[in-house]
Structure 1
Amino acid sequence: MPRREVGTTYRVMAAIARPVVRLLFRRDWAGVEHIPADGGFIAAVNHNSYIDPLAYGYFQYATGRPPRFFAKQGLFTGVFGRLMHAMKHIPVARGGAGALAALEAAATAVRAGEGVVFYPEGTLTRDPEMWPMRGRTGVARVALETGCPVIPVAQWGANLLMPPYGKMGKVFPRRTHHVLVGPPVDLSRFDGRQPTPEVCREATDDIMAAIASLLGEIRGLPAPTAPRERRTAEGTEDVRASTA
């Protein structure tokens, strides 16, 4: 795909990141044809390692659609934060007006034709079997309000080098970073409906089910029928969400 104008900072950072990713990983990419050549879209991706944004970012950049990450606000500080802003990534403040402003910024980016990357889980998976957890509903809200396609993406392999909440392992032998992209999630059943919390919850569950199914293809395992979610009460363990 043709390289889009991304700005000097993004090109420089990509040039630095490319050899690092190639050193760390072999690559196995499939479904690249589902990344839209033009127009705004959301890439909804599972998150299982602190370094998978680097590996996934390399993938999407290589398709000609530079990723604009919907990322936690804590990353947007100091020199690194200035670089994040220069690359037009989107800071996310949890809760209240800050969260709404972040979602509006994501919607604006999509309407401008950008490929915005959401990690719908909002954090690294805590599922002991490494499946995606139940997603937060912001991804569906932006999709339903803009009408943009949601492209489900599963990735696997960065977690073998650096497990979630774990330490970096030995670089060699290199792991393979698998990326499997699926066709846009069919959200047509929500056409004409207001993006209420209930509607956004249903749409998000559809998105996460598509991601989990793709991850099952990569791993050669059946995806769970219900995602895991954390209870909010302190000290409770992760539980499987109801399918209702």
Structure 2
Amino acid sequence: MWFWTFKYILMGPILRLIGRPKVIGLENLPESGPAILASNHLAVVDSFYLPLMVPRRMYFLAKSEYFTGTGFKGAFQRWFFSSTGQIPIDRAGANAAAGALEAARRQLAKGDLMGMYPEGTRSPDGRLYKGKTGLARIALETGVPVIPVAMVGTDDLNPPGTVIPRLARIEVRIGKPLDFSRFEGMGGNRFIERAVTDEIMYELMQLSGQKYVDLYAADLKNTGATPEEILESGNRDKPAA
């Protein structure tokens, strides 16, 4: 109920006004049954515009801190993130990744749509970064289709580090479902999981038109270096051919 209130009565009209969103490829979305929507990640508002433009309810994983605040602000945050389909997960500790994957599996077992960002974090500069293999592991274990989704223009509306949105034109491009049934029974094989992840990232690159960088975005944020600096450092460490 809260989701539809958010979508059609409260925030939906505002999001449509400032982002003038357009969706392409809705015919690629199944009318029922579980699926993973694998999206690039340019801005915080990706998690608002994607469910806004998808006719079915969908879910995302979100850090538990969004749901533990106190007072009016805390209550509003809990309502807001629950309304947009965010599922709280504890990202601290050694079992954080396993807990997140299990939460996604439970939601898919209910026949729902699960939105996931294979890059693991927002792109720092608008380029597409190397995907992590957790999404591939879930897809292989559950057998659900993976649908690539490209968010375009959300970083113009909500550039990194900004709070107040700017007028922009958002486009949500939904690609054809990817079938990984040829890898049935191979879940847990890290080489297969990497191959599946790379195939998903290639489709996202094609859909979004982003330049691909073969580095993890999180590593970039942690070091503060540019992709070029990290790649050049790696090249210097390799022996000459």
TM (norm. structure 1) is: 0.79
SS of match in other structure, 2:170: strand
| Paired AA for residue 57 in structure 2 | P
Question: C-alpha distance in 1, partners of 2:147/2:187?
Answer: 21
| Paired AA for residue 58 in structure 2 | P
1:237 aligns with 2:237: no
Closer, same or farther in 2 for the Cα pair 1:23/1:89, shift >3 Å? same
Could you list the per-position Cα deviations for residues 140-168 of structure 1 after superposition, in whole angstroms to 9, with x for gaps in the alignment?
11111110011000011121122123454
1:181 counterpart (158, 174, 182): 174
1:134 counterpart (112, 130, 135): 130
What is the CA-CA distance between 1:13 and the residue it aligns to? 2.2
Correspondence for 1:211: 204
What is the CA-CA distance between 1:58 and the residue it aligns to? 0.6
| Paired AA for residue 178 in structure 1 | E
Considering fraction of residues, name the structure with more helix.
2
| Paired AA for residue 237 in structure 1 | T
How do 1:1-244 residues align onto structure 2 when only pairs under 5 Å count?
A: 8-14=1-7, 15-60=9-54, 63=55, 65-77=56-68, 78-79=74-75, 80-81=77-78, 84-85=81-82, 89-94=86-91, 96-126=94-124, 128=125, 130-166=126-162, 168=164, 170-171=166-167, 175-216=168-209, 223-224=210-211, 227-230=214-217, 231=219, 234-238=223-227, 239=230
Question: C-alpha distance in 2, partners of 1:21/1:86?
Answer: 14
For structure 2, the 5+ residue unaligned runs are 69-73, 235-241
| Paired AA for residue 101 in structure 2 | L
| Paired AA for residue 181 in structure 1 | I
| Paired AA for residue 207 in structure 1 | I
Question: C-alpha distance in 2, partners of 1:73/1:85?
Answer: 11
Question: C-alpha distance in 2, partners of 1:81/1:13?
Answer: 13
Would you say the 8 A contact 2:67–2:88 is kept in 1? yes
Question: C-alpha distance in 1, partners of 2:105/2:40?
Answer: 20
Could you list the per-position Cα deviations for residues 162-207 of structure 1 after superposition, in whole angstroms to 9, with x for gaps in the alignment?
2123454543xxx211111111123234222132333222211211
Would you say the 8 A contact 1:39–1:114 is kept in 2? yes
The CA RMSD measured in Å over matched residues stands at 2.5
Question: C-alpha distance in 1, partners of 2:79/2:21?
Answer: 30
Larger radius of gyration: 2
| Paired AA for residue 140 in structure 1 | A
Closer, same or farther in 2 for the Cα pair 1:9/1:167, shift >3 Å? closer
SS of match in other structure, 1:56: helix
Report the count of equivalent residues: 220
Larger displacement relative to structure 2 (205-214 or 231-240): 231-240
SS of match in other structure, 2:44: coil
Closer, same or farther in 2 for the Cα pair 1:74/1:132, shift >3 Å? farther
TM (norm. structure 2) is: 0.80
SS of match in other structure, 1:96: coil
Question: C-alpha distance in 2, partners of 1:194/1:49?
Answer: 30
SS of match in other structure, 1:176: coil
Question: C-alpha distance in 1, partners of 2:85/2:21?
Answer: 26
Question: C-alpha distance in 1, partners of 2:11/2:224?
Answer: 38
Question: C-alpha distance in 1, partners of 2:224/2:177?
Answer: 37
Question: C-alpha distance in 2, partners of 1:157/1:224?
Answer: 15
